[in-house]
Amino acid sequence: MLLTSRFLTGATTLLSSCTLGLLVSGCSVTPTKEQVGVTSITALSQDVKDPCVIYDDELNTFTLPEPAEIWPRIRAGFNIPDSAANNGAQRIAKRLSWYEKHPNHISAVTQRGALYLHFILEKLDEKNLPHELALIPMAESGFDPFAYSHATASGLWQFMPRTGKHLGLKQNWWYDGRRDVTASTEAALNYLSRLNKQFKGDWLLTLAAYNGGQGTVRRSIKRNRKKGKPTDYWSLKLPKETEQYIPKILALKEIILRPDIHNVTLPPVANTPYFALAQIDSQLDLAQAAKLANVDIEEIYQLNPGFNQWATSPDGPHLLVVPAAKYDNFIQALQALPNNERVTWERYTIKPGDALASIAQKYHTNTALLKEINHLKSNTIRAGKTLLIPRAHQANHFYVLSSAQRSRAQQDTRKSIRLKYTVKSGDSLWTIARQYNTTTRNLTRWNNITPRDTLRIGQTLTILDRSSNARTTRKINYTVRNGDSLARIANKHNVSISELERWNAINRKDILKLGATLVLHIDRGRS
């Protein structure tokens, strides 16, 4: 696909190495007639001799090839004016300062996003939407499709269960469409488009409504209108999270526009599809899928986070995301796989005292599926009869990112103590993970790194020790009272001030507001 002139809007700060002088990293964008100072396409074709330029005689248009990397393409599609008032500029600057002090955070998040960014940009261009919207998953979930908020929002786009259902995203025991990368992206962009029409093309109000709810934004606009105040985003009184949300996105935009100025190195991300969508027609064990695609089971889950269990959903969607480089071989291997090997089946003889629910629990499935497979009209079963039961091809722990395994890992984390490990010669993420009976994904998550990062001798890694001697903790919300200070709260709950700062992203010099809520993680053994 060739870029069009639409992508130039909002990218005027960028320079170019091409004759047309429009974009960093060579030829990338289609210029408009106004931008090159000519009055006709014919004149442009005669005046410009740059070999980067492609002129289509039939369509009478100029185009330039897409950039090899994703970042120039993202910059070229930035199209939302900041229009920040003084207080808005201060809010953006505050968030920008945080990112500048935490460059590793940006690096880790953007590397996670490398799997999904090209797909999201393709969808944005399809729908003629600004590229700033590609930063929403960066701000919402850190490009972690398994991100789950305290408010039960889930997935890259952080949909609440009710919102997800309203947008047509299925949620059941087998599958959660809120985490499905392709389905949730389509739903999010459709939702944002509808919101933008409601707010008459104002993207800042649209983003505020996406985060805080359209009703919240409308009520705030109505209040300001009654008082004769401006009704732009920067003038509205909104929930604290929503007031911080747009500055976060605009700060990320500024960093991607000018990473060097802000002491951030953006990892190279190819401007090519990382994955392809395969039609699989019926249920497939994810261990089989990993084997057919010749990839690790973790990558299958990372690309297909919507699947909760050890297999795709029997009711669909019968689609599987696989690395683009593996797609052809996967399709060939899938076609050669006999239907009876897609999922392992077991015949179970019902014993006296058995219940359908207990059998379902034993085999990590659900009663509805057992009833459907075995043509049962009710939950009543008879001893001596047999049931056909789908069974995972591998042991449960093999499906490292299934819902049950993620839940178990979270429980283990709450029972963990932190250890520090110093990298030695010959170490790798795999050998360290094996030594501590964990996974490479856990190591990368605990240390805010990616699997592709090179370990340095002497580097310190954090390990969460899940031994039985580790103390368990409970999370509490503490409401700041009159006379409270960080020192007083820390002393009362037997925690340190530095822990309070880390848990709440605050500084001990900050003034605590009466009624504010602080998060505390209290060790049961010392509370």
Residue numbers annotated as active site: 140
Classify residue 397 by its DSSP letter: G
The tokens for 149 are 């908020």
Q: Put residue 142 in one of left, alpha, beta given phi > 0 → left and psi -120 to 50 → alpha.
A: left
- Provide the CA 41 distance to its chain's centre, in angstroms: 42
Query: Do 243 and 233 meet the contact criterion of CB atoms below 8 Å apart?
Result: no
Contacts of 470 (CB under 8 A, 6+ apart): 415, 416, 417
User: ∠ CA 206-207-213 to the nearest 5 degrees?
Assistant: 80
**Alpha-carbon span 457 to 454, nearest angstrom:** 10
Task: Enter the tokens of residue 62.
Answer: 């100029």
Provide the sign of the torsion angle of the four alpha carbons 47, 49, 52, 56, taken in this order.
Answer: positive
User: 110-125: buried (b, 16+ CB within 10 Å) or exposed (e) per residue?
Assistant: bbbbbbbbbbbbebbb
Distance separating alpha carbons of residues 225 and 230, to the nearest angstrom: 7
C-alpha span between 11 and 51 (Å, rounded): 22
Residues 6+ positions from 86 with CB-CB distance below 8 Å: none
Beta strands in 423-490 (DSSP E): 460-465, 473-479
- Candidates 185, 195, 247, 192; CA nearest to 217 is 195
**Spatial separation of the C-alpha atoms in residues 235 and 229, rounded to whole Å:** 8
